[in-house]
Amino acid sequence: MLNKGDVFVFPQGLIHFQFNPSYDRPAVAIAALSSQNPGAITIANAVFGSKPPIADDILAKAFQVDKKQHKIRKKINTPPAETKRLSQIYRAVAAAVFY
C-alpha cells in the first residue's frame, strides 16, 4: 500500500495495475515511460496468468463482469500454445477488451 508522498518504480516490461481501495479519497497517478514505444506485452497472458494472480473482485470490476464469470480465467490460465481453442480465446479477450 502506498501512502501520500510515496513513489514506486515498476521495472521495465512489468505489467501492473493500480487499485484505490478508498472510495472517499481520490488517488492520483503520474506515469513516465523511457520512450514513446514502451514495447509489447501480451496483455491476456499477463493479466490472466499473473503470479500471484490478480484478485477476482478486481478483475470483475476491471472487466465489468460478475465475479462468478471469473471461471473463464481458470481456462485461460493455460499457455495458448497448448490448444488452438485457448489461443483463440486469448485473441478474442484481448481484441474485445483492449482494442
> What confidence tier does 86 reach under pLDDT thresholds 50, 70, 90?
low
Determine if residue 13 is left, alpha or beta; phi over 0 gives left, psi from -120 to 50 gives alpha, anything else beta.
left
Please classify residue 48 by burial: count the beta carbons closer than 10 Å to its beta carbon, then call 0-12 exposed, 13-18 middle and 19+ buried.
buried
pTM: 0.38
The answer to whether the CB of 43 falls within 8 A of the CB of 98 is yes
Q: Tens of pLDDT along 33-46?
A: 766 666 666 777 77
Q: Which amino acid is at 12?
A: Q
The answer to whether the CB of 89 falls within 8 A of the CB of 75 is yes
Cell 513516465 sits on residue? 32
